[in-house]
Structure 1
Amino acid sequence: MSFSPVVPFSGYSGWAFLKRTLPEQKEAFQASATLARDEDYFRAKIGSIQTAEDLVSDHRLLTVALGAFGLDDDINNRFFIKKVLKDGTLDSSALGNKLADKQYLALSASFGFGDSAIPSTQNPGFADEILTAYQDRQFETAVGEQDENLRFALNAERELAVLASRDSSEDTKWFTVMGNEPLRQVFEKALGLPSSFATLDLDMQLKTLKAKTEKAFGDSSVAQFSDPANLDDLVKKFLIRSEAMASFSSTSGASIALTLLQG
C-alpha cells in the first residue's frame, strides 16, 4: 500500500499532531488504489460466500476478513481459521472460546458460519461493517510502520470505546483487555507495570490492574474509558511513559558503551 501517514513527532506530541490531522490523513489513505480494489472485490463477492470453506478458499476475501480483526498474520493458516469460523461461538468448546486472543472469537461471531443456518454474509450492510473495520485496522497498521506506539494508541481509542460501553461485568471487560495484546500493552505501560507482569496468575493480574487503575484514575473500572477525557488521559500516560522508557533505554545503552570505551 503506497500511503504513508505523516507522523513528524513521537510520543504525545506525535499523537496530538496525528489527531489534529486525522480526517485529512484518513481521506488520503482511503483514496489508495490498492484499498479501493480490495473493497470493490469484497463488495462484489462476499454475498456469494455461504460457508467457512468458501471464505478461506478466496485469498482476497480472506485478506480483508482477517485484516478487519487485526489477524493479518494468519492469512496462510487457512485450516486454523476455517476451524475458528466453523466452530462458531455458542459452544464453550469452540476453538474461538479457548483462544486467549478474543479477536478470533469476534471474527467467528461476526461471520456467523457456526452460529446460524444463514451466515452474516447474507445480511444487508455486512460488507460495509467489515470494510469499515478493515479501513480502520489498515490505517492503524500504516501508522504503526511509522510509530508502533501511535498504532497502539489508535487501537486503544477504537477498542475501548466499544468495550467500555458493553453490557458485561467489569471482570469480563478486564479479561478482554488482558486477552488483547495491543490493549494490554497500553494499560501495562500507562500503569508502569513491568514486562514480567503477564507471567503472573490471571487472578493476580486482574487484581493488580484494578488496583493500579483506581490509583491512577480514581476508578477501577474499564467502563470509565467510555468518557473521552479518561480515554485521552490513559493514552497520554501510555505515550509519555513509552517515550520516557525508550529515552532511558537509549541513554543507558550509550552510557554503557561510553564506560566500555573509556575503560
Structure 2
Amino acid sequence: MVNTYLSYQLITRDLAKSIDRVEAQPGVQRDTAYYLANIGKVKSIDDFLKDDRLYRYAMKAHGLEAMSYAKAFIKKALTEGVSDPNSFANKLTDKRYAEFVKSFNFAAMGEMTTVYTKAQHEAVSNYLNQVSLEGGNPQSKAVQDESNYYLANISKVKSIDEFMANDRLYAFAMKAYGIESSIDNKEMMRKVLEGGIRDPNSFANSMIDRKYATFAAAFDFEANGENATTYNPAQQPAVAKYMRQTLEEDAGVQNEGVRLALYFERKAPGINNFYDILADPALAKVVRTALGLPDSFAASDIDRQAKLFDEKLNIDDFTDPEKLGKFLTRFTSLWEVSNSTSSQPSIAILYQPVELGISTNTLLAIQQMKR
C-alpha cells in the first residue's frame, strides 16, 4: 500500500484531476445529475426535507451526512436562518450548520432560495428601484424590455471581458448598483471586478464608496469565475463541496491520515487562532501529530494546549500555501511512523465532534428537542 505522504501528494499534485475522478464515478454522476435537475424546483424547507435524495446530497456536501436522520433538528436550523446572531445554527459550536443554512437560506430568501443569484435577481430588483428613485416608471415597456434582455443574456456571460464587451448588459448592471457615473471608466471597473472582495485590501474594498464593493460582490468573477453570473450557493457550489467531501471520504477508506491532511488543507484558510483548531478534534489531531504530541495531550487544559501550539507554530503559516505544504508534509510523514498503512486504518476520529462527526453540543441540542 502507498504510504501516507505519497498518497496525499498524488491526490494534491493535481487536485482538479483527483476531483474529476470522483465526478466520473457512476454513482456520483447519477446523484449529481438528479440534484442539479431538481434542486431549483425546491420552494420551501418542507419541499427540501421531503426529497430525501436531494436532502442527503446537500447534507453530505456540507460534511453533515451523519446527521441526515435528525430532520427536526435541521428544520429548526433552517427555519431560524443565520441573520440573527442568536439563531439556532449560529449558536451551535459546529459551524458547519451555519454554513449549511447560508447555502439553503430559506429564512431570508423564501421560495427563491435555490434559484436566487445576485447577478440576476438582485441586479434587476436594484435596477427597478433606481428607475423609481429617478422618477421613472418601473412598469414601462422600455424598462421591462431592458430587464427582459438582461435576464435573458446575463447568464451567458462567463468572463469580465464578455461582461464589459456587452454595453447593454454592462450599462444595466452599472445603473442597478448606482454607479453609472463610472460607466466610461472601464479601466477602473476592471480593477474592481478583477480584485473581487475576498481580499480586504482589494481595489473595491479599498474604495470609500461601498457601492463598488457591492457591485464586485454581485459580479464576483474573481471568486466564482465563469459561474459568476449564475452563482447560487444551493446549486453548483454545493456540488463542488460534495465532490471534495467524497474525495476526502474515499481517501479515508484507504488511509485516515490522508483524509485528515486533505481536511486540514481545506479548512486551513479559515483558521484564525489555535482555539479554532482545538474546537475541531480532526484539526487538533493533525497538529498534535505534526508536533509529536501524544493523543493524551488532548485531555490537558485547553489554554495550556493553545499556549504550546502558539509556542511551536505560527498561525499565519496556515494561510501560506508553501508553509502549509511543509506542515502537512511533516504531518503525513509522522503519521506514517505512528500508523503503518499496512494495518487497517482506524476510523475512530471520524466519529469525533465537529467536521468528521457530530459535535457534543449538537447531540445535547437534539436530546433537548426530544424532551
Q: What's the TM-score bracket when you normalise by the shorter of the two chains?
A: 0.7 to 0.9
* 1:176 corresponds to: 276
Give the 5 Å matches for 1:1-263.
Answer: 8-20=1-13, 22-117=15-110, 120-123=113-116, 124-126=230-232, 127-160=235-268, 162-163=269-270, 170-171=272-273, 174-213=274-313, 219=314, 221=315, 223-246=316-339
Between Structure 1 and Structure 2, whose CA radius of gyration is higher?
Answer: 2
Q: Contact between 2:285 and 2:295, CA under 8 Å: does it hold in 1?
A: no
Cα offsets for 1:8-43 (capped at 9, x unmatched): 412213223333465444323211221111111111
Displacement of 1:118: 6.0
Letter in 2 for 1:163: G
Q: Contact between 2:106 and 2:113, CA under 8 Å: does it hold in 1?
A: yes
Looking at structure 2, the residues matched to 193 and 95 of structure 1 have their Cα atoms a distance apart, in angstroms, of 35
Name which structure has the greater RCO, CA cutoff 8 Å, separation 6+.
Answer: 2
Q: Contact between 1:67 and 1:137, CA under 8 Å: does it hold in 2?
A: yes
For residue 12 of structure 2, give the secondary structure of its aligned residue in structure 1: helix
C-alpha distance 188-61 of structure 1, shift in aligned 2 (>3 A): same
Superposition TM-score, scaled by structure 1 size: 0.76
For residue 101 of structure 1, give the secondary structure of its aligned residue in structure 2: coil
Letter in 2 for 1:53: D
Letter in 2 for 1:102: K
Cα offsets for 1:23-80 (capped at 9, x unmatched): 4443232112211111111112212223333222211111111111111111212112
Please give the root-mean-square deviation of Cα atoms over the aligned residues, in Å.
2.4
Displacement of 1:226: 2.0
C-alpha distance 206-156 of structure 1, shift in aligned 2 (>3 A): same
Q: Contact between 1:177 and 1:184, CA under 8 Å: does it hold in 2?
A: yes
Percent identical pairs in the alignment equals 30
Superposition TM-score, scaled by structure 2 size: 0.55
Looking at structure 2, the residues matched to 116 and 211 of structure 1 have their Cα atoms a distance apart, in angstroms, of 45
Q: Give the length in aligned residue pairs.
A: 226
* 1:255 corresponds to: none
Looking at structure 1, the residues matched to 45 and 299 of structure 2 have their Cα atoms a distance apart, in angstroms, of 35
Displacement of 1:144: 0.8
Mark the runs of 5 or more structure 1 residues left unpaired by the alignment: 1-7, 165-169, 214-218, 251-263
For residue 154 of structure 1, give the secondary structure of its aligned residue in structure 2: helix
Looking at structure 2, the residues matched to 98 and 141 of structure 1 have their Cα atoms a distance apart, in angstroms, of 27
Cα offsets for 1:63-120 (capped at 9, x unmatched): 1111111111112121122222222223343232333322122112222223455664
Q: Contact between 1:109 and 1:115, CA under 8 Å: does it hold in 2?
A: no
- Which deviates the most, 133-142 or 191-200? 191-200
Q: Contact between 1:144 and 1:150, CA under 8 Å: does it hold in 2?
A: yes
Looking at structure 2, the residues matched to 92 and 70 of structure 1 have their Cα atoms a distance apart, in angstroms, of 22
Letter in 1 for 2:310: K
C-alpha distance 175-88 of structure 1, shift in aligned 2 (>3 A): farther
Looking at structure 1, the residues matched to 303 and 108 of structure 2 have their Cα atoms a distance apart, in angstroms, of 30
Mark the runs of 5 or more structure 2 residues left unpaired by the alignment: 117-229, 344-371
Cα offsets for 1:182-226 (capped at 9, x unmatched): 32221222123332344344444433322231xxxxx2x2x3222
